[in-house]
A and B are shown apart, each in its own frame.
Chain A
Amino acid sequence: MEASDLNDHISRRFNKDIEDLRNSVLAMGGLVESQLSKAIAAIVSGDSELGLRVARDDYKVNNLEVQIDEECSRVLATRAPAAGDLRLIVAIIKTITDLERIGDEAEKIGFLASKLAAMDRPADSYRELKTLGNHVLHMLRDAMNAFARLDVEEAFETVREDERVDDEYEAIQRQCITFMMEDPRSIKRVMNVTWTARSLERIGDHAKNICEYVIYMVQGKDVRHTDISETVDLVSD
């Protein structure tokens, strides 16, 4: 499927419906991206007000999900799309679920940021969370870019990134355990750090899912729950 295929329907209204859906998913993606980047900034700069604002703004993401979901049902019911269009709608329905979850995780991170802001701050001001966070933010951006450009290559790159995110998460967890063993008084704070890292890692997984939907949408092949090398084989057939 190519981007130009999307503009190739007999009914212009149908074209517009599909185009609008795609645009609103990307707008939702943009909102989620900015929520995540604010949440990370709140952690790094210890800005509790910003963190709380992110948590408060999550309703916007939820509203968009409901709205797009309804629109998808409407298009399904009235236009009975087939082939590529059907795959697009299915992929959109799944994508917005993952985006909404990412929004929830960002909300959690914002909330944790406001808690962490009230506690002592380590000298490196959570550098490892910043690195992991930026990594995950990039994954999310690339996933949405792949969705916008229907770019399977980029989707693959991003799916591969997830392994690196998992490694980073592992490292942070190990570091946290060390801290807690060294100084039990820090457990409360370090637990929050662990939760944050956990949320970031989950966001990476959701971004990976979105990339898999992109591959499904473009190529019609289901690459979920497969090994990365198998995935490449599946798609290069």
Chain B
Amino acid sequence: MSVAARKFLFGTALFLGAGTAVGWVYGQAMNGLLVAVLLTLIWQIRQLLSFERAVRTDNFDDFRHGEGIWEQIVARFRFERSRAIRRKGDYRRLLKEIRKSTDAMPDGAVILDANNEIVLCNRAAKTLAGLKRKKDRGQRIDNILRDPLISQLLGDSNFDQTVEFPSPVAEGRWLHGRVVPYGAEQKLLMLRDITERRQLNKMRRDFAANASHELRSPLTVISGYLDSLADDEEMPATWETPVRQMQAQSHRMQRIVTDLLELSRLESAGTATSAAIDMVRLLERIRSDYESPANEARIILNLQSAVELLGVESEIESVVVNLLSNAMRYTPREGEVTITWVSSPDGADLSVSDTGDGIDAELIPRLTERFFRVDRGRSRDDGGVGLGLAIVKHVLARHDALLRITSEPGAGSEFCCHFPPERVVVAPPLTLS
């Protein structure tokens, strides 16, 4: 109990005692106590009422608190309140700072709750995607950003998907969207303007296509003359080796140019228009084309399924041929290369595995880069161009397929292409005639 509270109790008791004593003097002790109680009550009620008025009007000047317990109450009350006000100001300033900093971010950020309803968004989200801060609070984000890709993005519970879609408000601008989990059950949708990146990419593609196109005609002339020179019987013997080498190199350059052109065609085209491909027939044909006598590894066909694949036949063929020729290149002559075609309810897998040297695990992610080589000196001698897997990657992307590479150094590698179920058709059963 505080000093003031003790004083208050003591004072009140003293007052009541004094009242009783005065009453006792007149022989009316009970009445004296009653009067004292009444007086105390009236005074306290008055104090309470004026305290209420003072709190309500926020004016403590008229409040006569004296020195006792009421002074304590008022002082405490005023202190707590001014602290609350100061804190509120601090929080408000802090919030403002946070908002200012999120507004300064060039990327759009939208906080979503578990139902994908908008909780907060920053200014960039407004300029990039046309969200309205006040009006759209509580609105589902895919009701405002209605591109089907967005609801696909939000439906992905692994948060590893990203999408690119045109901005609904800023014409000609493209946005990149990704979702990151945030707090409990919440999500953060990040939007980034990638118009410049797309333009740069397009410029790069155009450049590659134009450059290879321009290189093709002079190369044709050069290799044409070299071919006829090589066949010329009157050519001095000293020139024979240089001409042969020039011929081989110019053929190699032609292959590079053709592959580059094919790559830029694959890049600029959208998803492939498709027809059903009879994979069994295709794989058997490729095998018979590639099977060569003795000095190369054996090719084994492992056809576990007769399903057909929806796709562009020439492109799928180039996938198989590229994977197969890679496998042959790295597999010793006594080894074997297996082509497998299997289907399951999750889709179909085309895989090419070998018993060759294998690839170091840290190099695997770089394999599909253009002109990337595991072993520079060696594969060039073998006639590799360095674009095969890049072509494979692009063709597969056009067919909604994924490339999975597993390898164990010394034991061999497997290149597996996984096609989604939408790309698989169950072929009609053969009718026996």
Contacts and interface: CB of A to CB of B under 8 A. Distances in A.
A23 interface: yes
Given A53-B270, A141-B168, A27 B151 contact: yes
22 contacts: A22-B143, A23-B142, A26-B140, A26-B143, A26-B146, A27-B142, A27-B146, A27-B148, A27-B151, A30-B142, A30-B146, A30-B148, A30-B150, A31-B148, A33-B146, A49-B273, A52-B273, A53-B271, A145-B130, A148-B139, A148-B143, A149-B136
A34 interface: yes
Given A26-B142, A31-B146, A149-B139, 7 more contacts: A26-B146, A30-B148, A33-B147, A53-B273, A134-B171, A149-B132, A151-B135
A49 B171 contact: no
Interface string A19-53: 00011001101110110010000000001011011
B224 interface: no
B269 interface: yes
Interface in A157-172: none
Given A3-B138, A30-B151, A37-B166, A148 B144 contact: yes
A49 B269 contact: yes
Contact of B147 (A34, A47, A52): A34
Contacts of B146: 26-27, 29-31, 33, 144
Interface size class of A (residues with CB under 8 A): 20 to 34
Interface of A: 3, 22-23, 26-27, 29-31, 33-34, 37, 47, 49-50, 52-53, 134, 141, 144-145, 148-149, 151
* Closest CB pairs A-B (n = 5): A30-B146, A148-B143, A26-B143, A31-B148, A29-B146
Contacts of B147: 30, 33-34
A145 B144 contact: yes
Q: Tell me if B's interface is mostly helix, strand, loop or mixed.
A: loop
Interface residues of B, number: 24
A61 B303 CA distance: 39
Interface string B137-160: 011101111111111000000000
A143 to B, nearest CB: 11
B126 to A, nearest CB: 13
B270 A50 contact: yes
Contacts of B148: 27, 30-31, 34
Nearest to A37: B166
Contacts of B136: 149
B58 to A, nearest CB: 34
Nearest to B149: A34
A49 B270 contact: yes
A133 B39 CA distance: 87
Contacts of A145: 130, 144
Nearest to A31: B148
Interface string B260-300: 00000000011101000000000000000000000000000
Contacts of A30: 142, 145-148, 150-151
Nearest to B135: A149
B270 to A, nearest CB: 6
A33 B149 CA distance: 12
A59 to B, nearest CB: 14
Contacts of B145: 30
Nearest to A47: B270
Nearest to B140: A23
A163 to B, nearest CB: 21
A52 B270 CA distance: 12
A72 B166 CA distance: 31
B384 to A, nearest CB: 32
Nearest to B168: A141
Contacts of A27: 142, 146, 148, 151
B339 to A, nearest CB: 30
Contacts of A148: 139, 143-144
Contacts of A37: 166
Contacts of B132: 149
Contacts of A141: 168
A137 to B, nearest CB: 9
A37 B139 CA distance: 24
A145 B130 CA distance: 10
A130 B159 CA distance: 36
B153 to A, nearest CB: 12
B129 to A, nearest CB: 11
